[in-house]
Amino acid sequence: MEKIYLIGFMGSGKTTIGRVLAEKLGWQFVDIDDVIEKRKGMSINEIFNNFGEEYFRELENEVLLNFIPFQKVVISVGGGLPVYFNNMELMLETGFTVYLDVSENVLLNRLKNNWESEKRPLVNRNSEESLINLLRDRKKVYEKAHEIIKCNSQTPSQIADQIIKSFLVWKKYH
């Protein structure tokens, strides 16, 4: 299997690291949120506001399923995708799944700098405390990943190199 899924809380760097990783591997990069926005012609925030979170989670699942047959692809998934339906199990079965683990303080600082983002409806609707609680709840699912990478002080390039090394070891056995 030649597919890498990047999971983690919003603000963990999935898209940035995913682009660097895909470039280093010579693979395609897919951001599921971008695919949804293009398909629907509206921002994630607009989808949440107009149709609700449940509808958005169904869209995420549908897009994930569309990419299952793809190979040589790095896929960045939304922060909530792994905790809905059987998405986490699906990713674990069909590719190398990496949890980009960033400390709560670093995440909150990143999110504060991007508080009004159209891509982060849950940031706009939640206090810092409820975001931390959401992270802690999701972390239980995230930690099922094949690899957990601590991302607090490394550059995206260093993190991508670390993922490649881990992937090559994992690939020998899968």
pLDDT in tens, 58-115: 999 999 999 999 999 999 999 999 999 999 999 999 999 999 999 999 988 887 766 5
Is 3-162 a CATH 3.40.50.300 domain? yes
- As a dihedral over the C-alpha atoms of residue 79, residue 82, residue 84, residue 89, rounded to 10 degrees, the angle is 170
**Is 122 a residue whose pLDDT tops 60?**
no
pLDDT of residue 3: 98
Q: What is the mean pLDDT of residues 6-27?
A: 97
Q: Which residue has the tokens 């699942």?
A: 61
56: phi > 0 → left, psi -120 to 50 → alpha, else beta; which? alpha
Site of tokens 């206090």: 127
Q: Which of 40, 90, 38 is nearest to 65 (CA)?
A: 90
pLDDT of 125 strictly over 80: no
The full set of domain ranges for the chain reads 3-162
In the DSSP assignment, the letter for residue 9 is S
- The C-alpha atoms of residue 76 and residue 68 are separated, in whole angstroms, by 13
Is it the case that residue 37 has pLDDT exceeding 70?
yes
Amino acid at 162: Q
Sequence-distant (6+) residues with CB within 8 A of 88 are 7, 82, 97, 141, 144
Helix or strand (DSSP H, E) at 25: helix 14-25
Half-sphere exposure of 90 (CA within 13 A, CB side): 18
Q: How confident is the model at residue 120 (pLDDT cuts 50, 70, 90)?
A: low
156 pLDDT band, cuts 50/70/90, is very high
* DSSP structure string for 40-70: HTS-HHHHHHHH-HHHHHHHHHHHHHHHTT-
Residue 148's pLDDT is 98
pLDDT for 124: 54
Give the CA dihedral 31, 27, 93, 69, nearest 10 degrees: 80
**Alpha-carbon torsion, ordered 24, 27, 32, 36, to 10 deg:** 130
Give the pLDDT of residue 74.
Answer: 99
Is the pLDDT higher at 73 or at 132? 73
Q: Name which of 4-8, 89-93, 132-136, 149-153 the model is least confident about.
A: 132-136
Is residue 51 scored above 70 in pLDDT? yes
